Amino acid sequence: MRTLSLALAATALSAGAAFADAHTAMTPMVEAMDQSVSNGVVSADKIAATENGWLVVHRTDAEMKPGPVVGYAPLRAGENTDVAAILQEDVAAGDMLMLMVHTEAMGNETGVFEYTLGATEDGPYKVDGELVMTVVTAQ
């Protein structure tokens, strides 16, 4: 019986290690489509994050530079689905929105969104120097 218990414990540990390896090997990304924002919300279908952080909604334009923040929502490390950010100001049909992953790192308070444009607190998460984001158009 002891051998069976040890075998089950070893299996559980190896499964946990495999899950941890798969979790850390995750490629951060944001998937979202153009959508109506008439309800005051913008959503991402799926977000993969390697650490806790934020979905941050920036205004943008054809130059694709992140502009002012108009909404945000918390993210858990791992895969997040149907993430909704409440818009904090009016967004009109045709406006372009950049949905970007921000980190929780370097903030002063865990669980409190502290970023302002250009700040390091809760700043953008980058992979190989590239922002993890997608752009949608409000309908």
The confidence score (pLDDT) of residue 105 equals 85
Cβ atoms of 49 and 78 within 8 Å: the answer is yes
The confidence score (pLDDT) of residue 118 equals 84
Q: Which of 85, 19, 73, 76 lies closest to 48 in space, CA to CA? A: 76
The β-bridge partners of 104 are: none
Domains of the chain (ranges, CATH numbers) = 27-137 (2.60.40)
Residue 40: Cβ-neighbour burial (10 angstroms; 0-12, 13-18, 19+) = middle
Element (H, E) at 7: helix 2-24
Kindly report, residue by residue over 22-55, the tens digit of the pLDDT. Answer: 445 789 999 999 999 999 999 999 999 999 999 9
In this prediction the pTM is: 0.81
Element (H, E) at 81: strand 78-87
Q: Which residue positions in the chain have pLDDT lower than 50?
A: 2-20, 22-23
